Structure 1
């Protein structure tokens, strides 16, 4: 079995994964306790964290599963179009989980096929995963979770994690060689625009700018953290950008497939002019945290940014949005006009 684990790890590394580890399902036993602690600290977020209990007793749902293969892939190597930096979270711009044009997804499929060729049942969910990947990666010794709740390797937090449940009892655990967060460092907490990071190793998703601008925040006019969102249209990188452990960790040495071309279609003004077929057929598959029925949220978020950082050039675009086909966008535009006293 040890040889089988090393075979999987070796092939993963050959494919370009930064790290690969394997843990037994039983090593997730402490996850439920951590989840309970998180809810005790932030009871208003219980509804959000409730869905994560699906990770606490995996063998109830997958009785065949015995171990978890966890792989780490660095994405902090891609060129980010300058005008999108600070508007759209970098991890979303180079999200490989469902992008068929990315080498990373093709390698993921190849690794899965390789394991199956060894007679292993291997299953992966390439969205939100079948396992708690950060916790599992930490248990596999592939890195550490820092005060901002992100998982770090030697390449910082600019890494993507993915996992497979497998039906073999295998193990491959490393000893992480990176230091923990300095005890007196709280830069991520101080920088968090909405105070979602109120203390180390915890996070209030209800307040998180990244959550509000993607799968939450469906009533932006009355959103408590609307002003704290600042210039973010989709996602947020603040707590990772200010982290000393991420300093000089991003190297723009490669182009992500089709990103430069897509970026030419994206600006605050262009978002408000986007037709809904483009939002549904081009933007949604790329930025899939907003579902097809909610692509109007792009326009609402763009108007919110215009209000938060108003420039005279935005006036005509806000006015234009008063005639949008979606009532949510029209309401947001009319609210913005009153808020900015543009009438």
Structure 2
């Protein structure tokens, strides 16, 4: 007779999850120590990591929790539309946490329903997690963390991690035979445009392009690092793209529901012309790290992109932005106009 742990794992595999492990809640205790290590290595990251402290003590919000079910679902099978390739990070393009059209979202809901039907009390936070996701996945044997700080399975780093707290003491670890990063390899560190990734397993999150182009970077016109963003508009894949352990892992065999059409509205020009209503209804629900009132943040990001990748066709957009009603847009556009003498 199969155990409840085996039933959960079997169901996860049936739904397309690559890995599923279950660990006692006590096995996440080391997460706080890792946060403290990060702060010690990079003191300027303290404020950022303070926001992660809740993940180190889930019992504060879920006093009944006894174990963690953690799963990995690959997303490297999807086609990246040309309009957004290299401009918007793949994890955000194929973010299945809230997209009800994605099969992975439906499977997430199905596995949670299945665990409830088995008699378990479960809790999750689909946006931001209930535990330190990579740490829990590491303890559950789903894969390894590489030097660029991303979690890897056999699908490379192109996996979403999902986790649930349960009210039953359980344990069923996965196994993996992934090789460690080659000792001589430092491609991810060398490629990081802002030097946020400064050493193996060491980074300054508030200097990361992904942070600065999503929920951070609220004063991008005065951020010197913005000139190093290259072609990034929302997020960054550079340290993952250059990683030898990701070579050949992205397959691009399937279309992601609705993305091809949405991508037509995500060119630099279309974003600069975008109105608030369209943004709130079509763009923000998918790219939720920027709030419904912050279309200006996207436009500042695009202006920064236009400066870093300037061509004459961008000139009218920059000139027009100098008259925008939003002060940050005007500040960025005016700065670019001055720098490029246009």
Q: TM-score, normalised by structure 2?
A: 0.98
For residues 133-160 of structure 1, give each alpha carbon's deviation from its aligned partner in whole angstroms, at most 9, with x where no partner exists: 1010010001000000000001100000
Gaps (5+ residues) in structure 1?
none
Looking at structure 2, the residues matched to 57 and 283 of structure 1 have their Cα atoms a distance apart, in angstroms, of: 33
How far did residue 331 of structure 1 move?
A: 2.3
Which residue matches 2:171?
Answer: 171
Report how far residue 52 of structure 1 moved.
1.0
Between the aligned partners of 1:224 and 1:66, the Cα distance in structure 2 is: 46
1:33 is aligned to: 33
| Partner Cα distance (2:175, 2:130) in 1 | 24
| 8 Å CA contact 1:2, 1:171 repeated in 2 | no
1:17 aligns with 2:17: yes
Taking a change above 3 Å as real, the CA distance of residues 67 and 2 of structure 1, as seen in their structure-2 partners, is farther
2:77 is the counterpart of 1:86: no
* Offset, 1:293: 2.1
Distance in 1 (alpha carbons) for counterparts of 2:210 and 2:29? 29
Q: Could you say which residue in structure 2 is the equivalent of 1:272?
A: 272
CA contact (8 A) 1:2 1:170 kept: no
Q: What is the aligned partner in structure 2 of residue 226 from structure 1?
A: 226
Which deviations, in whole Å up to 9, do the C-alpha atoms of 1:284-336 show, x marking residues without a partner? 11111111122211100000011112111110111122233323212222222
TM-score (norm 1): 0.98
Greater alpha carbon shift after TM alignment, 209-218 vs 78-87: 78-87
Partner deviation per Cα, 1:271-292 (whole Å, 9 max, x = no partner): 1111111112111111111111
Distance 1:325 1:281 in 2: 21
Partner secondary structure for residue 68 of structure 1: strand
Q: How does 1:1-343 map to 2 (within 5 A)?
A: 3-342=3-342
**Contact 1:148 1:189 (C-alpha < 8 Å) held by counterparts:** yes
Partner secondary structure for residue 197 of structure 2: coil
Of stretches 281-290 and 241-250 in structure 1, the one that deviates more from structure 2 is: 281-290
Q: Supply the RMSD in Å over aligned alpha carbons.
A: 1.2
Residues paired across the two proteins, number: 342
Deviation readout 1:13-62 (Å, 9 max, x if unpaired): 10111111101110011111111010001111100000111122222321
For residues 21 and 2 of structure 1, the distance between their equivalents in structure 2, rounded to whole angstroms, comes to 15
